[in-house]
Amino acid sequence: MIATDAPALAVVGGRGRRRVLHAAANAWSALQGLLPLIALLLLWQALGDPHSPYFPSPSTWATALRDRTSAGDLVPAVLATFQSVAVALVLATVLGVGIGGLIGASPALARCLGPTLEFLRTLPPPTIVPVAALIIGVDEKMKLFVIVFAALWPVLLNTTSGVRSLHPTLLEAARSLHLGVVARVTKIFLPALLPSILTGVRVAAPLAIIVSLLAEMLTLMPGLGALLLMAQRNFNAAEVFGLLSVVGAFGFIINAALAAFESWALMPQGRS
């Protein structure tokens, strides 16, 4: 993967490029894994019936999507869903790292918050939607709340166990170097926890997408979920399949972007 001839790496400027290349290579290998799916779609196109009411062939999906786009629905829907997912993931990460970090660092806090969090965590996010809609109303805030509620847990739990598995010597080294609280958090804790946090975010991302689509379907707020539900209600199978592939690509791209970011960010730690 990476050459071990140490001094050669010490060239200034070379490191940044290497890290980018490394991340790009990872993304490419992920794309290669898509080849079977592409082959399947091509086969479907070649053998399928374009007029089938249930299984229209892929070219009709494209037409349906083009119609949606020219009607001005598709792009705003993708952007709306993306915005909710992205903002909610950021919020979930900040909250999860904050709360998870405190719980990991303080056994007392873990004891008094633990059972409550455990209870909240087991509530299925879909069941939150009606409650949140009732209390907050049907708006963007409610959608964010529901997504954050679902995406929070993986980040939180990973951060907590990450803090607990930090080696005591690392923390003592920080103390004996007379680092203040802020320096300890930014220079020691966050970088040391980065692998745990990013693993949590990667687990959280698909959850955030699922719950976002679900909230859109249940409330018909703008987004891919709402479009999908409408298409189904209109018995437009080509559009349903078309939107489904958009959703699939959407999730795939977000996941691949996170994976690339992870391997770029963890490169200095030798863990990617």
Minimum Å gap between C-beta 201 and other proteins is 18
6 contributes a contact to other proteins by CB under 8 A: yes
Closest CA to 157 of 188, 211, 199: 199
Distances (CA, A) of 161 to 73, 90, 164, 208: 43, 20, 5, 22
| Structural tokens at position 205 | 């991302």
172 contributes a contact to other proteins by CB under 8 A: yes
Number of residues that bind other proteins (CB under 8 A): 28
Distances (CA, A) of 95 to 148, 157, 190, 212: 9, 11, 14, 18
193 contributes a contact to other proteins by CB under 8 A: no
- 27 touches 260 (CB < 8 A): yes
Cβ distance to other proteins smaller for residue 32 or 169: 169
1 contributes a contact to other proteins by CB under 8 A: no
108 contributes a contact to other proteins by CB under 8 A: no
Tell me which stretch binds other proteins (CB under 8 A): 16-24, 65-73, 94-102, 187-195. 187-195
Minimum Å gap between C-beta 237 and other proteins is 51
- 58 touches 237 (CB < 8 A): no
Q: How far is residue 21's CA from residue 15's CA, in Å, rounded to a whole number?
A: 10
Cβ distance to other proteins smaller for residue 6 or 46: 6
19 contributes a contact to other proteins by CB under 8 A: no
Cβ distance to other proteins smaller for residue 36 or 180: 180
**62, 136, 179, 203: residue in contact with other proteins (rule CB under 8 A):** 179
7 contributes a contact to other proteins by CB under 8 A: yes
181 contributes a contact to other proteins by CB under 8 A: no
**H-assigned helices in the chain:** 6-9, 14-32, 35-47, 58-70, 74-105, 107-122, 125-136, 140-164, 168-176, 181-183, 190-219, 224-233, 237-265
**35, 124, 176, 233: residue in contact with other proteins (rule CB under 8 A):** 176
Q: How far is residue 176's CA from residue 170's CA, in Å, rounded to a whole number?
A: 10
CA 230 to chain centre: 25
Cβ distance to other proteins smaller for residue 191 or 248: 191
Minimum Å gap between C-beta 105 and other proteins is 17
CA 222 to chain centre: 20
Minimum Å gap between C-beta 154 and other proteins is 22
186 contributes a contact to other proteins by CB under 8 A: no
Closest CA to 258 of 272, 242, 243: 272
What phi, psi does 158 have (nearest 5°)? -65, -40
Minimum Å gap between C-beta 173 and other proteins is 4
51 contributes a contact to other proteins by CB under 8 A: no
Binding-site ranges for other proteins (CB under 8 A) = 4, 6-7, 9-10, 12, 15, 167-170, 172-173, 175-180, 183, 187-188, 191-192, 194, 268-270
